[in-house]
Amino acid sequence: MKPRRVWAVARKEFLHIVRDPRSLGMAIAIPMLMLILFGYALTVDVDDVPTVVWDQSGSQASSEFLSRFGGSPYFHILGYERDYGALERAIDTRRALAALVIPGDFAERVETGRKVAVQMIVDGSDSNTATIAIAYAETIARIYAQEVAVETLQRAGGPAMRLPLEVRPRVWFNADMESRNYIIPGLIAVIMMVIAALLTSLTVAREWERGTMEQLVSTPVKGPELILGKLLPYFAVGMFDVLLAVLMGEFLFGVPLRGNVALLFGMAAVFLAGGLSIGMFISIVTRSQLLASQVAMMSTFLPAFLLSGFMVPIANMPPAIRAVTYIVPARYFVAILHGIYLKGVGLEILGFEAILLTVFGTVMVLLSNGKFKKKLT
């Protein structure tokens, strides 16, 4: 392999990128646009759940109880209704996602220390929001009930009541519990995988469609030199995209980067080399730009988005699907990014994922080189 030949092919491919606004836009603008759109649109935080109330009691006790919901960051009381029909219309029209029904004897039961049932109606069409909203409501009700029990006991002149168990939660690595801090690092891996495969999936196929492959075959450039020369410009563009994504995560989304920056870019380089080689392999096999782009999207975006642990925890997947995730390289890179970004750990913790990612990159580079033959048939 001669560096001069590799550089000649790399220079030719780089000039093509610069002179073709579509390729340059795909290489730089699209990753940034995807990061902005997904970064702001994707969230699993449940805040300000729109809630309507039917307060049949109308007492000070019910008002105090409802103030706990109104003062919580998790619920937003839209208004008060007077019957079930109004509550049903509010939920059917999605004006509200939850409804609270306070019974008429609420104050009497609370003052006498008897059990009282408060009904909560939740729109289950959004199961994730419904589950979290119910958990929030149960917590608010439990705290209110404990405070009422303590006050009732004190008014009766009894001894101070102490709860036998107290949970003191302490959140590590993402103290504010913001989903953005978890989503943005994983999103970088998904975008890199898709864009890398899409960019190089058009390179060799473009040569076949334009009839310039005959010229390349007639030159003394060897197959590995041609493949490496075509990969280098896109590798440089990809690393520039990684830099922009890291800067956007830091300054636009405010995601803390606690780990080693050099390790982050080193692992990104390994992952990018594998992703680019996947696209190159697809381009060599299909020899069609349209087919190559479609195959690249299907074989990279869906696995990276659904099977990497980016959106759905792998532990929650069925056993058969969990087994498939082991051949998805984005799984290991997402784990590495989360470890570097949120935990600030290094290879002493992420060594296994780093080894598997390196194996993936090496295998894909060798596979794309071995598949390409300097033949016209």
The pLDDT tens digits of the residues spanning 239-251 come to 998 999 999 998 9
pTM for this prediction: 0.80
- Half-sphere exposure of residue 258, counting CA atoms within 13 Å on the CB side? 15
Does 220 score more than 80 pLDDT?
Answer: no
49-155: CATH class: alpha beta
Report long-range pairs for 210-216 (Cβ below 8 Å, ≥24 apart). Answer: 213/376, 214/376, 216/374
pLDDT score at 159: 64
Q: Which residues contact 151 (CB under 8 A, 6 or more apart)?
A: none
**Rounded percentage of the chain residues whose pLDDT exceeds 70:** 93
pLDDT score at 375: 57
The stretch 253-275 carries a mean pLDDT of 92
Between CA 134 and CA 97 the distance in angstroms is: 11
CB half-sphere exposure, 125, CA atoms < 13 A: 8
User: Residue 212: pLDDT above 80?
Assistant: no
Most confident of 8-12, 93-97, 209-213, 307-311: 93-97
pLDDT in the model for residue 214: 63
For residue 160, what pLDDT band results from cuts at 50, 70 and 90? low
Q: Predicted confidence band at 43 (pLDDT cuts at 50, 70, 90)?
A: confident
Intervals of CATH 3.40.1710.10 along the chain: 49-155
* Pairing of β 49-55 and β 98-102: parallel
Distance, CA of 248 to CA of 315 (rounded, Å)? 30
246: which 2 tokens? 């890291």
pLDDT for the residue 12:
80
How many degrees, rounded to 5, is the angle at CA 280 between CA 3 and CA 354? 85
Let me know: does 179 contact 187? Beta carbons within 8 Å.
no
Mean pLDDT of 270-274: 92
Question: Which residue reads 């000070």 in tokens?
Answer: 60
- Measured between alpha carbons, how far is 358 from 345 in angstroms, rounded to an integer? 18
Rounded Cα distance between 334 and 312, Å, is: 12
- Partners of 122 in the β-ladder: 98
Q: Output DSSP code: residue 342.
A: I
Residue pair 196/280 in contact by the 8 Å Cβ criterion: no
pLDDT at 163: 64
Q: Are strands 75-80 and 49-55 parallel, antiparallel or unpaired?
A: parallel
Q: What pLDDT, on a 0 to 100 scale, did the predictor assign at position 162? A: 67
C-beta of residue 133 within 8 angstroms of C-beta of residue 74: yes
pLDDT band at 211 (very low <50, low <70, confident <90, very high): low
Q: What are the tens digits of pLDDT across the range 66-83?
A: 999 998 889 999 999 999
User: Rounded to an integer, what distance in angstroms lies between the CA atom of residue 83 and that of residue 56?
Assistant: 9
Q: What is the pLDDT of residues 322-374, one digit of tens each?
A: 999 999 999 999 999 999 999 999 999 999 999 999 999 899 888 888 877 65
Of 83-92, 157-166, 249-258, 357-366, which gets the smallest average pLDDT?
157-166
